[in-house]
Amino acid sequence: MSPLHEIRPEQDADHAAVRRLHALAFGGPAPDRVPDLVDALRARGGTTSLVATADGAVVGHLMLSPARLDTPERLVDVLTLSPLGVHPAHQRHGLGTRLLAAALAAAGRLDCPAVFLEGSPAYYGARGFTRADTLGFRRPSLRIPAPAFQVALLPAHRPWMTGSYVYADPFWAHDCVGLRDPDLIARIEAAG
């Protein structure tokens, strides 16, 4: 039986638990990279963060942060969905799906036209995201495999809103744009 999860806005008291969650979820050779990105995005402002809790403990987190779309007509404010982390013990219970749905609903309430992310085409494609280059969007880095660059178009989107997606500075400063693993890149491109 899956645990009962509550999804709610992140509070200041959650910051340390969110940091630990992302260090665990994204670990690897640089376990502080994603937690440091979250801190920098929070400090920059304009973010929407959601947490999932089970028995009062933070077991999931998702952040939306401001970004830009450089269209032929003008710059358009959009959102980046990153990171999304779920504690390993709470994965495969639909928690990531619920966090994504709540985030897209929140973005829609903000009249955001589009939400962009880098991620698994299989996972995110089944949850409302589409390969962005097929809709006229250009990825911000060649290190992002084309199939992994994805977008969810929201009701505020208009057909002229295409162009180059521009990450906020903290993503570049914390080296959180694109993949470095050639094997993973090849697998994503082959699947896309």
Q: Which of 74-88, 91-105, 170-184 has the lowest mean pLDDT?
A: 170-184
**Rounded Cα–Cα distance for residues 132 and 30 (Å):** 28
Output the CA angle 113-116-118, nearest 5 degrees: 170
What are the distances in angstroms from CA 6 to CA 10, 99, 110, 183?
12, 10, 22, 36
What is the enclosing helix (H) or strand (E) of 171? helix 169-173
pLDDT at 29: 74
167-187 pLDDT, tens digit each: 999 999 998 998 665 565 556
Tell me 3's DSSP state: P
The C-alpha atoms of residue 4 and residue 16 are separated, in whole angstroms, by: 22
Q: Measuring CA to CA, which residue among 157, 160, 174, 165 is closest to residue 80?
A: 165
Domains of the chain: 6-191 (3.40.630.30)
Q: Note the pLDDT of residue 30.
A: 78
pLDDT averaged over the chain? Answer: 91
CA distance 63 to 41: 9
81: enclosing H helix or E strand: strand 75-86
Closest by CA position to 116, among listed 158, 148, 70: 148
* Number of residues that this document lists for the chain: 192
pLDDT at 186: 59
Question: How would you write 120-160 as a 3-class SS string?
Answer: CHHHHHCCCCEEHHHHCEECCCCCCCHHHEEEEECCCCCCC
Alpha helices in 11-58 (DSSP H): 15-26, 33-44
pLDDT digits (tens, 9 = 90+) for 30-43: 788 999 999 999 99
Give Cα 59 distance to the centre of its chain: 16
pLDDT of residue 89: 84
pLDDT of residue 26: 85
